[in-house]
Amino acid sequence: MSTEKIKNSLKNGPDELGYYGEGEKARGGFASGETLMPILKNLQDAFEDAIKDKSFIDKFHYYCKHWINRPSPLYFAENLTKKIGGAKIYFKSEHLNHTGSHKVTNCLFQTLLALRMNKKRVLVESGAGAHFSAAAATCSKFSLPILGVMGNTDIRKVNSNIIKAKHYGAKLEAVDGSLKEAITHVLKMWTNDPDSYYLCGSAVATAPFPRIVQYAQSIIGKEIREQCLKHENKLPNEIHACLGGGSNSIGAFHEFLDDKEVKLVGVEGKTSAALSKGTIGIMQGMKTYMIQSKDGSVAEQTKDLPSGINYFSVGPQHSYLKDIGRAEYTFATDDEILDTYKLVARTEGICSALEPMAAVCETIKRAKGKPKDYIIVTSLCGRGEKDLDVIEKLRGSDFE
């Protein structure tokens, strides 16, 4: 990808070295050991070849439609809109996809890529378990063995996704910690097992993973564009999405990067708000914002309630978008997220995952006082069965 093309469109990139931006402002890269570089180069070549193959893309779109149930609806949250007053609130209903979140689209794409590369097994990490469950479903569908790795902190929170993954035939290995430790462990396993395919769950880690995940998930934004034009005859004024690593948000944002009139807003958890509170570092194969020690030698622990956004860092494309001012990033507290969960459940009859409630927190704040023809689309990226035990423990009395 030439530098000139990157300047002409924010939708182009990263460059051939895996970076978004240039010089000291460059984010991303191939920050990996020598043993991984041939494997990564092979993956990048296979990906670039696959997306030029019409039969491969047609197969991906076929299963998106007939197995995942895409396009997911763009749903007008009429009751919530009336209660808040102001902007018209739409939910991009990724929670209605097969397996219950946006994760399955990326899993489908990369499982098909693994088959194309003749890989013998899939390795996968997960925080909230949604990626593990979705990857287990796609691997079951296409007869690939799969091993998932999760932190024991997260395993205690999200039992239902783990049960589903087991029913699909997946095996699980636990590590001490959370998503950060799970990713590190899988990268080490993959280094010693090149016949396996690492199915990265978010737009993070070394190149080419941020680009692969963005490509797969960009279907979210493409559907938002088409659906909003159909429903409202115009583009949304704002698009909101939660993020930890950032696959859901970059999927919603990417289609609109060149539409400067559309505001893009990402919402992290309070303790893991790398884009609001972090500093630039290099870890887990990428140069990006991180919650880390002052000297950058150690990643600090985060403790946000929603496991899927409880991640110490963020995908490099989001870091780049923050630096150039194309997207805004903020954060929500656990209490705000739980309050918003209850509000959405009671007004719209939707049992949402806790992660997207971080984004809805910001939607509610920004909707107030806006004109009635102002449109905010928020990605509702997962459903809430996985969180019910935690919600009941913390807020069960709220619903009695």
**Alpha carbon distances (Å) from 398 to 342, 343, 347, 394:** 8, 11, 15, 9
Give me the percent of the chain exceeding a pLDDT of 70.
98
The verdict on residue 17 lying in a domain is no
For 94, the domain range is 69-101+218-399
Q: pLDDT for 125-135, tens place per residue?
A: 998 889 999 99
Residues 201 and 297 in one domain: no
Q: pLDDT for 255-278, tens place per residue?
A: 999 999 999 999 999 999 999 999
Res 32: pLDDT = 86
DSSP state of 302: -
Q: Where residue 226 sits, what CATH number does that domain have?
A: 3.40.50.1100
Quickly state the pLDDT bin for 374 (edges 50, 70, 90): very high
Res 7: pLDDT = 59
Residues 245 and 116 in one domain: no
Quickly state the pLDDT bin for 35 (edges 50, 70, 90): confident
Q: pLDDT for 176-190, tens place per residue?
A: 998 889 999 999 999
- Distance, CA of 257 to CA of 254 (rounded, Å): 5
112 contacts 59 by C-beta, under 8 angstroms: yes
The verdict on residue 197 lying in a domain is yes
Residues 110 and 250 in one domain: no
Q: pLDDT for 376-389, tens place per residue?
A: 999 999 999 999 99
Average pLDDT of the residues in 66-72? 98
What average pLDDT does the chain have? Answer: 95
The model's pTM: 0.95
Last residue of a domain, one of 195, 213, 231: 213
Half-sphere exposure of 69 (CA within 13 A, CB side): 12
383 contacts 356 by C-beta, under 8 angstroms: no
Residues 165 and 198 in one domain: yes
Quickly state the pLDDT bin for 1 (edges 50, 70, 90): very low
Residues 76 and 152 in one domain: no
Residues 183 and 313 in one domain: no
Query: In sequence order, what are the residues at sequence separation of 6 or more whose Cβ sits closer than 8 angstroms to the Cβ of residue 398?
Result: 342
Q: pLDDT for 318-337, tens place per residue?
A: 999 999 999 999 999 999 99
Res 234: pLDDT = 98
Res 378: pLDDT = 99
Q: Does 4 have pLDDT greater than 60? A: no
The verdict on residue 232 lying in a domain is yes
Query: In sequence order, what are the residues at sequence separation of 6 or more whose Cβ sits closer than 8 angstroms to the Cβ of residue 350?
Result: 91, 95, 344, 380, 383
Residues 144 and 184 in one domain: yes
Residues 54 and 188 in one domain: yes
204 contacts 282 by C-beta, under 8 angstroms: no
Residues 350 and 259 in one domain: yes
Residues 43 and 148 in one domain: yes
| Radius of gyration of the chain, Cα coordinates, nearest whole angstrom | 19
Counted domains in the chain? 2
Res 158: pLDDT = 73
Average pLDDT of the residues in 60-72? 98
The verdict on residue 271 lying in a domain is yes
Q: Does 159 have pLDDT greater than 90? A: no
Last residue of a domain, one of 179, 213, 247: 213
Residues 228 and 296 in one domain: yes
Indicate the length of the chain as a whole number: 400
The verdict on residue 357 lying in a domain is yes
* 313 phi, psi to nearest 5 deg: -135, -160
Residues 301 and 154 in one domain: no
Strand ranges for the chain from DSSP E = 19-20, 27-28, 74-76, 88-92, 121-126, 146-151, 171-175, 196-198, 238-242, 263-269, 279-283, 286-290, 327-332, 375-379
The verdict on residue 355 lying in a domain is yes
Tell me the angle at which helices 209-217 and 103-116 cross, rounded to the nearest 10 degrees: 120
Quick one: CA dihedral 79, 230, 219, 15, positive or negative?
negative
Last residue of a domain, one of 180, 213, 246: 213
